[in-house]
Amino acid sequence: MNIKGNTILVTGGASGIGYQFSKKFYNNDNQIIVCGRNTEKLTTLEAEFPEIITKQCDVTHADERVALFEWVTTHYPDVNVIVNNAGIQNRFNLLTADAKNDWESLKTEIDINFDATVQFSILFGQYFAKSNNEASIINVSSGLAFSPMAIAPIYSATKAAVSSFSTSLRHQLSETNTNVYEVIPPAVNTDLGGKGIHTFGADPTDFINEIFEGLVQDKHHIGYGSSKERLTMTKEELDQVTSDMYQQLKDTI
């Protein structure tokens, strides 16, 4: 990927890993557009980087996604990169979850992590295909796509789905001007799942620096640390990772 001179939409780009994408791309001479739900975070980002464009959008909802797509392509028609980064993680017990009355809330992870990634990939993939510019779709999955963290069952499944979808997307777009990258974070020190849960994770700056090396080298699947290791493990080894994690964490849900 050419990491300079692009017009880039980063979903959830005002904090966490998304912020790292926004800052790193900004520092490499790209025009950055960031969406998020929380307007305070967007205002703070604008204060730090006045040239970054922000737009409030809750990607849970299909109508807000379409409205964002139309707003971005109308005001920034040169857009040629999307980073599908926005995500949430819920940890819960499948034996006590209320799938009758609480389904709307339970399925929010599917809406944000998977549906939004798929819908934006299709909308922007078709838009990019109509232009002559080189374009990229960067989808953020997780090491948990390969060995699920059983206490976050829907989260892990959405990330496996994002990984699978990104592979299909890459093949279908292989004869177009659009490259597809899957970024696969291990645990990174962000607020994912709530403050304090991921403080043991990798340093976000070290993480993003290595991810950018992968983008420059046009790697299709870009891992870091333990998530890179998971890309080459056997199914039995991955199952063992899941089992060890579950034994360690099962009393927390």
Ligand X SMILES: NC(=O)c1ccc[n+]([C@@H]2O[C@H](COP(=O)([O-])OP(=O)(O)OC[C@H]3O[C@@H](n4cnc5c(N)ncnc54)[C@H](OP(=O)(O)O)[C@@H]3O)[C@@H](O)[C@H]2O)c1
Q: How many residues make contact with ligand X (CB under 6 A)?
A: 31
| DSSP string for residues in 172-204 | HTTTSSEEEEEEE--SBSS-TTSTTTTTTSB-H
| Cβ atoms 85, 12 nearer than 8 A | yes
Question: What single DSSP character describes residue 111?
Answer: I
Which of 37, 91, 221, 228 binds ligand X (CB under 6 A)? It is: 37
Task: Give how far the C-alpha of residue 145 lies from the chain's centroid of Cα atoms, to the nearest Å.
Answer: 12
| Cβ atoms 17, 234 nearer than 8 A | no
Which of 83, 192, 208, 215 binds ligand X (CB under 6 A)? It is: 192
Should residue 152 be labelled a site residue for ligand X when binding is judged by CB under 6 A?
no
Per the annotation, the verdict on 181 as an active-site residue is no
Should residue 12 be labelled a site residue for ligand X when binding is judged by CB under 6 A?
yes
Should residue 191 be labelled a site residue for ligand X when binding is judged by CB under 6 A?
yes
Should residue 72 be labelled a site residue for ligand X when binding is judged by CB under 6 A?
no
Which of 3, 88, 249, 253 binds ligand X (CB under 6 A)? It is: 88
**How near is the Cβ of 139 to ligand X at its closest, in Å?**
9
**Set 26, 155, 181, 224: catalytic member:** 155
Which of 33, 52, 72, 187 binds ligand X (CB under 6 A)? It is: 187
- 64 or 134: whose CB is closer to ligand X? 64
**Secondary structure class of 137 (helix, strand, coil):** strand
| Cβ atoms 28, 4 nearer than 8 A | yes
Should residue 17 be labelled a site residue for ligand X when binding is judged by CB under 6 A?
yes
| Cβ atoms 198, 188 nearer than 8 A | yes
Should residue 125 be labelled a site residue for ligand X when binding is judged by CB under 6 A?
no
- 31 or 60: whose CB is closer to ligand X? 60
Which of 5, 29, 38, 237 binds ligand X (CB under 6 A)? It is: 38
Structure tokens at 184: 């696969």
Catalytically active residues, by annotation: 155
Write out the residues near ligand X by the rule CB under 6 A.
Answer: 11-12, 14-18, 35-38, 41, 57-60, 85-88, 112, 140, 142, 185, 187-188, 190-192, 198, 201
